Structure formats: C-alpha cells, structure tokens
Structure 1
Amino acid sequence: MGMKRFFLWEVSFECGNKVGGIWTVITSKAAEVAKKFNADYTAIGFFNPEKSEIIEEVPPKWLLKVLRNMKKNHSLQFRYGKWVDANDVNLLLVDAREFQQKNINDIKAKMWEWYGIDSMNAGHDYDEPLAWSYAVGLLLEEIAKYTVGIDVVQCHEWLAGGTLLYLRHQNAHLPLVFTTHATVLGRAIGGATPGDNPEVLAAQHNVKAKHMLECAAARVADAFTTVSELTGEEATSILDKAPDVITRNAMDGQSLPPLSEMLKLKVQAREKIDEFVKAYFLPYYPLDLGDYPILYTAGRYEFQNKGYDLLIDALGKVNHSLKSQQSDKWLLALLLVPAGTLGIKEEVIQNFMSYSRMKDSLKEEWEGLSDTIYGAGDNQQILKEKMDSLLHSSKEFVSKLSRFKGKTPPLCAFRLAIPEEEDPILQKLKQNGLLNRQEDRVKVVFYPVFITRRDELIGMKFKEIITAASLGGFLSRYEPWGYTPMEAAAHVSVALTTEHAGFGRSVATLGDQVKGISVLKNEDLVNQTARTIETFSKMDKDERLTYETSAYKIICDNYLWKDAIKSYFRAYDIALKRMARRVGSDSSSESASSLPVQA
C-alpha cells in the first residue's frame, strides 16, 4: 500500500491575529512545519478586521467549494491567503460573528449535554472563541470529505477547544491534538497550588466555563501536550490529565544570524543606544560612556506576576552596594513595559532636540576642518584659530547641553495616563532609592510604550534594543515557558530566569556548567539576582562578552525549532495511532514512517 498523504490544520485564536505568546510559538515554528507538510499545512485563525496578517489569494478549487458551502449553510465568512509573519504558510481566517449570533445558545447547550460544561454565567470572552472554534470544527469536518489522505488537527489552548470537542463528539476520523501553553486556572491564580477542587477555585476566579472546556479538551484529545514540564505538572494537578508529550518552545534558527554577524549588529545597536543615553542623561550630568552594561526587562504590565518588583528590589541593592564601595562602575536599566501614556515629557523632547541640533552643528564644524587644513598650507596661525574655534564650540556644546545641571533625569520618559504616584513601577523605584541622581550607580529609564523604529526617542526596533543589551532580567513568579529570557540569550545577552519558568527549568537540566543563562533559585531570589547583576556589572567588556556569546550558543545548541519540532511530530504520530483505534479504521496499519515527520 502506498504512503498516505498528510494534511496539518493548526487551529489557534492567534493564527493571523497577534495577541500574545502563542502567536510567537506558531510563527517561529512555521518554517520547520512547512518543510515537512509543504502546501498541505494550513493555519486556521480568528478573523480580526483590525489586524489580520494575511495576503489574500484565491483558495484551491476544492477548498473554495467548501468555503462557499459553509458560507451558505452556516453564515460563515472567510479570508484565505498567506500568513506574512509565518514564512508565508497558508492561512485561513474564519469570521464567525453572524454564526455566533444565531447559534451560541445552542452550542453552549450542546457543550453541557456532551461534556457537562456549565457556561450559564459565561460572558462574551467565552462565547466568542467557543462559537468561532465550534465553527472551525464544522469546517474541518467538511474539509475532510474532500482531502485525499489523513487530516491532523492541532488545537492550541482552550480558545480552540470547541473545534476538538465538536470533532471528538462526531468521532471524526481525524487525529486530534490539544496543546496547553498555560492552563486557564493556572494563569488566574498565578501558578499557586490549586488545592483539592480546581473547579470550585475556577468558579471563584470567574473562569469556570473556560476551565471545564479545557479539562474536556485535554481529556478527549487523541494526544495532549504542554509546552514545558512545569506546565505538565500544572495540567496534571489542575486538569487531572498528564501530557503525552512535552512540546517545548524554541527559536526559529533561520531568523538568527551567525554569531559573527550578531556581534556586528550588537556593535551597531550599541552605538544607537549610546546616542539615546547621551541625549537623556548628559543635560543633567556627565557620564563615562566607555564601558557600561545595559540591563533590560520587557513584558506585559503585570507588576507582581512578571516579577518587576523583585527585579527593582535587586537593582536597588546593586545601586546601594556599588555606591558604598565608591565604585566607578555603573549600569543602565531599561524597563520596557507598556502602559497608558499621554505622550513624551516636554523636558525630554527639549533635551533630545537640543542634543540633536548641537551635535549636527558641531559635526559641520569638524567636517570643515579638513578644508581649512588644505587651504591653510603652512599658515600655522589659521590652523590655530580654527582649532581654538572648534575647542570653544565643543565647550559651548557641553555647556548648553548641561542646562539641567544639578537636577536629575526623569525616571520615565513619558507622561503616564495615571498620576506617577499611583504607578507601581515608579513607586518601587523610588522606594529603592533609584532616582537617577548623579551618584546613583544604577541609572533607570522606564519606557512604557511599544518599541518601534518610528519611535521619536530611541528610534530602534525591539530586537535591536535587546541585541544592544548585555543582560536581560526576567523574574516571573509564573511563567509556563518564558520566551523573553530565551530571546535575550538568542540575541547575545546574558539571561536571568528562575525556577518558576518552564525555560528556566529546562536550562537547569543542562548541568551546572551552563554559562550565560542564570537560573535563579526561588529562595532568596532578590539577593541572588542582586549578586549576579553586581558581579556582571563589575566585569570588563571582554569578560562580559564571553558570557553573552555563551548564551547565544546555548540557544543554538539546544533551543532551535529544527530539533524541537520533532516533539510535535511525535504527538501527531501518537494521535494517529489512537484515532485509528478510536474509530476502528485501518489507519493503524500505517507504520510510523508513514508520517512525513518521521522521514
């Protein structure tokens, strides 16, 4: 018997609709998935008219027929094309708004009848993904009638759970895979111990219907996976279901330049950061910009969950220690945490404009020096006058720039939408004596906007900033995986993570000799972090670089999708075998090598 053809349908609310970390997972692994399934790989996502990431094109004739039937029979709308952020893989966006209006009560009744899911008190944030994912289930049931081969269905998170639950109730001849990136209840309680009755706790946190749907999807899937051992333990406790496979997250190796190129990019990005630092701090006092490390943290504004309070406490200790030692070392801490803003502070705008104007003026004078040298010949007096003029201009430049001498640079570059005394990050900085005084050895810039190259101050992409950095600090109290420290290491920065993160747990298994990624213990976390940062800040540039390059190599050797994707493929193989037993088909006669993933 010939080898069967395999289709992969990857269903997620975030396919073509960037919301959070799952978008990063799927887009980063798309290239490796496409290598195996080629044109038979399609991502199915939620149509968001405000931010769809698709280059539309006409579907294949057979699929066009399916979509027309679904539109006619179920009031569904579709967009088909290429997903521009995911290596141009096939993308099918489903618009189920009208379908939801007509059918949501009936769908919720079926979920109760089939799986005992109580959604009486659930709101729109439950109804919308349920209706959408249920509609995707109807769509895939119809698609399977036209494809010649085996259709593997990969569903991510509870938001796609309706797809799996519908198809499982129909006993569809489709291998069904469910992946949990973090349980609904786990997110709600921040990774705390759920106790004896997770369902009661879910009700207390108003996530009962989502939790019950997630439990059902994990229970009836042909294969169930989680993205880390940490999330696997959480699922076992909260969902009462252990994962069949751990599908660890990774980086897209194709998007990472070789180390030599990364180091060149690091130098270029560092020069841009230096310009930002000059404009931000020099109007207040001089700084030695020859050799200073840059620490950054980034993420959603979840003050305690992301551990910003812990990191700021640690930075406060570092600042106090370096000051008490009268050290000449200093470091810059960039807190890249978006919040509501009302624009750049006027003081900051004026400083940047003054710096730019004076720098351009001084540059013109220095460029004119060559003409003077050639024109003066042996006339030393002309040369002396020109040099004196340049020296005077340079001193005037410094004098004019230091117009806020005696004051301190603002901790935040932007006007916040709330009073600064109510902002947790700013209050924590002040409590720790991190005030950007001249004597402070830790300088801080809280940058509460999304980073884009169009930014009026930094003018860099986010990846440029983290490439320029020396150290990324991520002390989350709850982090099912943790892309941010992995991303920091991949961009040649030392990464600080913890045992609370799935990535941290994974790195810890690599042994004690790992250099460049520090996995901090949960006990005495602030003091550990402070000691690590202080030790690193005292290193010279070359010594720091050995740790930074080591971090990059750890990612390349252990956390690229070219290897990590195999765990997903193992899950598909498990699902294929279990589906065959479930429906009593002859698919079980297909050897493991039938899956393209095993080739």
Structure 2
Amino acid sequence: MNNKLFKPDYIFESSWEVCNKVGGIYAVLSTRANTLQKVMNDRIIFIGPDCWHDKENIYFNEDNTIFTDWKKKATEEVLKIKTGRWNVPGKPIAILVDFEQYYEKKNEIYGKLWEDFNVDSLHAYGDYDEASMFSYAAAKVVESFYNHYLNSNDKVIYHGNEWMTGLGLLYIKKHLPQIATIFTTHATSIGRSIAGNNKPLYDYLFAYNGDQMAAELNMQSKHSIEKQTAHNVDCFTTVSQITANECKELLDKPVDVILPNGFEDDFIPKAAAFTRKRKAARKKVLDVANALLGTDLDDNTLIISTSGRYEFRNKGVDVYIEAMNRLLRDKELNKKVLAFIEVPGWCGEPRPDLLERLQSGKKYDTPLDVPMVTHWLHNMSHDNVLSMLKFLDMQNRKDDNVKLIFLPCYLDGNDGIINISYYDIVLGNDLCVYPSYYEPWGYTPLEAVAFKVPCITTDLAGFGLWANSEKGAYCEIEDGVKVVHRTDYNYSEVADAIKDTVAKFSNFNDKQIKAARTKAYNLSKKALWSEFIKYYYQAYDVALRKAAERNGR
C-alpha cells in the first residue's frame, strides 16, 4: 500500500462558529486557520452563517473581489452569500451564507433527508431548524463552487463541525460523492444532555442506548442527524479519547481519527508587556474586590478563578464553590484567597453602587449589599451560583480568608466594571480551577497554562487526560497542572482535592511558584497546532482514500 498521505487540493470547512464567536469551537477553528492557510494558500475556505446581515461583523472583512465570476453565477442560483476574509491570523477566505430563504421549503428538505438517510426531523425544536437550514445552504454553496471551478481530478474535502453541519454533509454525500467528507463532533448532543440532566454518564456509558436516551430526553432530532452523519461520512472524528468512548457507545460508531484541539500562542504578550499586563490585571481585580467587599486585600492575595460557559454541573462550577467553602476552614491555607467565577449569567447592568465606589478612588471599610456579585442579574433569586452561595451561607464576611465573587458577564473589555478582556485578566491569576464533569477537550485550562498560570482540572476533561498522557502519570500542581480523578459519584473527594491543592500552593515559596509556572507554560507548548495538525492530515488522508475508492480513482 502507498504510505504517502493523500493531500487535499481544496478544503471547505463549515461551522456555526465561522466568523461567529459563540463558544470553544470558534477557538479551535480560528487558531487552526493560520496553520492550514500557510499550507493551502487560499484553498481552504471557511463557510459560516450570515447572522449579522447589514450590521457590522467584527470577525469578518468583506471583499467583493474574491471569486467575482463565481459570485455572479451563485447570485443567478439564488444563493445569498458574502465573500471576504476571517479576521484572524492567516486571514483565510470565508464565505458567509444567508439561509433564511430555505425555511419555506424545510419540510421538503427534511422529507428527502428521511427518505435518503432515515434522519428523524419530526421532533425538532429550538435551534434545530436554524442550524439545519444553515447547513443546507452551506452545502449548496460548496456544490455551486465545485461545479464552477473544480472537477473530479481535484481532491476536495468538505469538513463539518458538530451536529449543526450534518444535513449539509449528507447532502454532499448524495449529490457530490466525488467530494470526501469529514465530520467532527466536539461533544455528542446526547452525552452532553445526559450529563446536563444530572444522570451518571460514565459508569453507565456501556449500558446506555443512545436512541433510547434521545427519546427520554427529547433529543431525537439532534441525535438522529448526528448519528446518521457519523455513520455516513468518509471520516468520523472527535477531539479526545473520552469523547471517542462516548461516540462508540451512544452513536454506535467508533471514530476514525482523534483530532485534539491545539491553539496558537500569538495572543500571549511577551516579556515586559506580559509583566505589565499581569500587574494591571491584579491591580484591577483587587481594586474591584476591595470596593465591593470593603476590604484591603493586597498583592500578596492568592487570586484564583474558574471560567467558561454557564453549565453549572458540567463545567464543575458547583464543586468549585464547594471547594472554596471548605477552604474557608482549612488550617493549611497560608494566604488570603480571592476567588472569581467568570461565567456569563443573565446579566443586567454593572452595579451603580460599585461603580460609584470605584470612581471615587476612596478606600472603604464596609461591604456593599450582596457583596458576592459585580453586576445585577435579571434572575437574582433563581441564579444557580447565588443560590448555592446563599445555601452555604458564603457571605464574604470581613474575617473570611476566602472571598468568592461572581463576575456574571462576558469579559470583552466593555462590561462596565472590569473593562479588561478575558485574556488580559486571566494572566493576573495565581491559579485557575476547571473541575469539569463533562468536558470533551477543555480550552480554558490550556489557555491558562499558556499564560503561565498553573491550573487544576480533571480526568473527565480531554485536556486533563492529555496532560496525564504527556507525563505518563497523574499530574500534580508542581507539574503546572493538577489533574484530579473525577467520577460520577466522587463530588466530595473532588472538592477536597481542589481545596487541598489551593492550600498547598499557598505555601509554595517563590522558587516553587516559578517552577510550576514554567512547567505550565512548557506543557502548553506541546499543544500548539504545529504539534497537533498532523492528526488533521491523517483525517484528510482517510477521507480522500475512501472517496477515491468510491469513485473508482
């Protein structure tokens, strides 16, 4: 057999998060784009939804000179597209597609999907229609482009991310079998749902029937499109071994290649700029905390945080709060701790009373009312974080050695209180904690260690498993990452392990802290795209070989 890898001439990659920052997939695609653009040189084309219409999209620079002759043809075919470049390093070509015109024929589209691939769209609700019509539109764009510029001599790949791109992948399989298809699930919809519904995912994984659970949890349509796509593409992939196990059990399809999520470190400030930004971040969060709490916390305070999407159990926000509660009474703790929860909630407005204090520049020795939150929420009485703090009677009292503050907004630099972006805040931390229960990969811990911030994560996160595999044993905080063993039922042990690790770190001397920070940073270097892109080349090879076989090439 020929051992030389098949290489694509063109790659089309679609995702709801192309030029549309929603979650972690944006980070995967936008950081990988530069590496592939260098190799493909404008022959990698990203396709995303035109959610912005006439409003300015800060992630996309429109350029009408790209593919002008094809765009005329596309307009004749009633495709509503914008061409331009994604505003990320590498500036790859992006096509944004308006898909709203397809809603009126969605029943016909779903009918064909059922006939051709047995996909059940009857139980669709929520974002299913939106995602499916985008996916259909993206496939029509690829079909039009292919027919205009390419032919069967070109090795072409269509790569879709998440169940939202499934319909398009199946359309390509049927109408353009000469194109090789790759599907990446970043988390199975049914696995996430099982975990999010407080059901034990891992101990019972072998016994769960994906179709049955989808019916029980009202997830039939998303599960159906995801499962049929996994079974029908040329190469089915996911991001970690833990999610590969999930795919095998819940989708009844083993993955062909695991594609771990790399990143680029071009957003990490260097040398003097790093030191300056770290000092500024620490000063800012201490100023905010002191104004809110009426305290005088200084730079010797241990600053820690957790962050990510507001998935209270899946992201381990609950166990983080429990750990901080236990830390309040820990005799080993050698420093005052300022702990943040940086998770976007249903945010109302920046607190006027807190703003007033910050703007006055004065020092205060009395706390504000509700000294646990920086912004008012629309659902104060029903918010999970505030409810748990109330239940545990965590009031940020003056004598408490651990103060916990909820920052319930997107840290985009314009939140009204912190006004510094997330990346510029995280580098001010001493420790980051991400005790996830459900985390297919885990960008937040990877980003933390890239900023030389040691972190705590679990072995239910793909990143935690990868860190352990790099060491060949469970990582400890001295290694820059502490990986806690987590199961369906050991919540209390996880809380204790976090508490003990923070207490241990509070006793580190400067030399030990520096060593842990260096090791954290060195580990992050092993996760750069230059190290992980080889897995994508494997996936391209698998898909192209299958397509060549199918088309008798």
Q: Does 1:81 align with 2:90?
A: no
Structure 1 outlier segments of 4+, above 6 Å = none
Q: Which residue of 2 aligns with 1:245?
A: 257
Q: 1:141 aligns with which of 129, 140, 143?
A: 143
Percent identity of paired positions between Structure 1 and Structure 2 = 30
The CA deviation string for residues 9-64 of structure 1, in whole angstroms up to 9 with x for no partner, is 1111211122211111100111101111011111011110267431111244xx43
One-letter amino acid of the counterpart of residue 576, structure 1: L
Q: Does 1:178 align with 2:183?
A: yes
Aligned length, in residue pairs: 526
> Matches of 2:8 and 2:369 in 1, distance apart?
66
> Matches of 1:262 and 1:224 in 2, distance apart?
40
Q: Which residue of 2 aligns with 1:66?
A: 70
> Matches of 1:295 and 1:248 in 2, distance apart?
27
> Matches of 1:271 and 1:545 in 2, distance apart?
20
Alpha-carbon spacing, 1:291–1:86, altered in 2? closer, same or farther (3 Å): same
> Matches of 1:510 and 1:117 in 2, distance apart?
40
Q: Does 1:547 align with 2:516?
A: yes
User: How many Å apart are 1:354 and its aligned residue?
Assistant: 2.3
User: How many Å apart are 1:205 and its aligned residue?
Assistant: 1.8
User: How many Å apart are 1:403 and its aligned residue?
Assistant: 5.5
Residue pairs, 1:305-320, within 5 angstroms: 305-320=314-329
Q: Which residue of 2 aligns with 1:297?
A: 306
User: How many Å apart are 1:318 and its aligned residue?
Assistant: 0.9
> Matches of 1:9 and 1:171 in 2, distance apart?
13
> Matches of 1:278 and 1:260 in 2, distance apart?
27
> Matches of 1:529 and 1:456 in 2, distance apart?
31
Q: Which residue of 1 aligns with 2:212?
A: 200
The CA deviation string for residues 256-282 of structure 1, in whole angstroms up to 9 with x for no partner, is 34567544532343233343344334x
> Matches of 1:432 and 1:230 in 2, distance apart?
33
User: How many Å apart are 1:328 and its aligned residue?
Assistant: 6.0
Q: Secondary structure at the match of 1:576?
A: helix
> Matches of 2:188 and 2:350 in 1, distance apart?
38
> Matches of 1:461 and 1:5 in 2, distance apart?
37
Alpha-carbon spacing, 1:154–1:328, altered in 2? closer, same or farther (3 Å): closer
Q: Which residue of 2 aligns with 1:383?
A: none
- Equivalent residues of 1:185, 1:202 under 8 A apart: yes
Q: Which residue of 1 aligns with 2:9?
A: 6
User: How many Å apart are 1:471 and its aligned residue?
Assistant: 0.8
Q: Which residue of 1 aligns with 2:394?
A: 434
Which structure shows the higher helix fraction? Answer: 1
> Matches of 2:255 and 2:272 in 1, distance apart?
39
The CA deviation string for residues 92-111 of structure 1, in whole angstroms up to 9 with x for no partner, is 0111111332x211111111
Q: Which residue of 2 aligns with 1:565?
A: 533
- Equivalent residues of 2:7, 2:540 under 8 A apart: no
Q: Does 1:527 align with 2:496?
A: yes
Residue pairs, 1:28-43, within 5 angstroms: 28-43=31-46
> Matches of 1:261 and 1:448 in 2, distance apart?
28
Q: Does 1:518 align with 2:482?
A: yes
Q: Which residue of 2 aligns with 1:380?
A: none
Please, which moves more after superposition, 89-98 or 186-195? 186-195
Alpha-carbon spacing, 1:124–1:579, altered in 2? closer, same or farther (3 Å): same
One-letter amino acid of the counterpart of residue 264, structure 2: D
- Equivalent residues of 2:287, 2:358 under 8 A apart: no
User: How many Å apart are 1:450 and its aligned residue?
Assistant: 1.3
The CA deviation string for residues 138-158 of structure 1, in whole angstroms up to 9 with x for no partner, is 322232231363222111111
One-letter amino acid of the counterpart of residue 175, structure 1: A
User: How many Å apart are 1:542 and its aligned residue?
Assistant: 4.4
> Matches of 2:255 and 2:241 in 1, distance apart?
9
Q: Secondary structure at the match of 1:321?
A: coil
Q: Which residue of 2 aligns with 1:233?
A: 245
- Equivalent residues of 2:337, 2:403 under 8 A apart: yes
Alpha-carbon spacing, 1:93–1:353, altered in 2? closer, same or farther (3 Å): same
> Matches of 1:321 and 1:34 in 2, distance apart?
51
> Matches of 2:8 and 2:465 in 1, distance apart?
38
User: How many Å apart are 1:116 and its aligned residue?
Assistant: 0.8
Q: Which residue of 2 aligns with 1:449?
A: 409
> Matches of 1:5 and 1:424 in 2, distance apart?
47
The CA RMSD over aligned residues, in Å, is 2.3
Residue pairs, 1:269-418, within 5 angstroms: 269-281=281-293, 284-287=294-297, 289-322=298-331, 329-355=335-361, 358=362, 401-402=363-364, 404=366, 410-418=371-379
Q: Which residue of 2 aligns with 1:104?
A: 106
Please, which moves more after superposition, 346-355 or 31-40? 346-355
One-letter amino acid of the counterpart of residue 244, structure 1: D
- Equivalent residues of 2:334, 2:507 under 8 A apart: no
User: How many Å apart are 1:124 and its aligned residue?
Assistant: 5.5
> Matches of 2:16 and 2:501 in 1, distance apart?
39
> Matches of 2:299 and 2:74 in 1, distance apart?
64
Q: Give the alignment's TM-score, normalised by structure 2.
A: 0.89
User: How many Å apart are 1:180 and its aligned residue?
Assistant: 0.8
Q: Which residue of 1 aligns with 2:542?
A: 574
One-letter amino acid of the counterpart of residue 544, structure 2: L
> Matches of 2:509 and 2:287 in 1, distance apart?
21
- Equivalent residues of 1:482, 1:503 under 8 A apart: yes
Q: Which residue of 2 aligns with 1:45?
A: 48
Q: Which residue of 2 aligns with 1:502?
A: 462
Alpha-carbon spacing, 1:474–1:173, altered in 2? closer, same or farther (3 Å): same
One-letter amino acid of the counterpart of residue 76, structure 2: K
User: How many Å apart are 1:546 and its aligned residue?
Assistant: 2.3
Q: Which residue of 2 aligns with 1:594?
A: none
One-letter amino acid of the counterpart of residue 354, structure 1: S
Please, which moves more after superposition, 157-166 or 334-343? 334-343
User: How many Å apart are 1:210 and its aligned residue?
Assistant: 1.5
Q: Which residue of 1 aligns with 2:3?
A: none
One-letter amino acid of the counterpart of residue 303, structure 2: I
One-letter amino acid of the counterpart of residue 275, structure 1: D
- Equivalent residues of 1:410, 1:436 under 8 A apart: yes
> Matches of 1:409 and 1:547 in 2, distance apart?
35
> Matches of 1:344 and 1:166 in 2, distance apart?
47
- Equivalent residues of 1:312, 1:432 under 8 A apart: no
Alpha-carbon spacing, 1:290–1:125, altered in 2? closer, same or farther (3 Å): closer
- Equivalent residues of 2:282, 2:299 under 8 A apart: no
- Equivalent residues of 2:7, 2:541 under 8 A apart: no
Q: Which residue of 1 aligns with 2:448?
A: 488
Q: Secondary structure at the match of 1:155?
A: strand
Alpha-carbon spacing, 1:127–1:350, altered in 2? closer, same or farther (3 Å): closer
> Matches of 1:418 and 1:121 in 2, distance apart?
30
The CA deviation string for residues 345-393 of structure 1, in whole angstroms up to 9 with x for no partner, is 34323321222xx5xxxxxxxxxxxxxxxxxxxxxxxxxxxxxxxxxxx
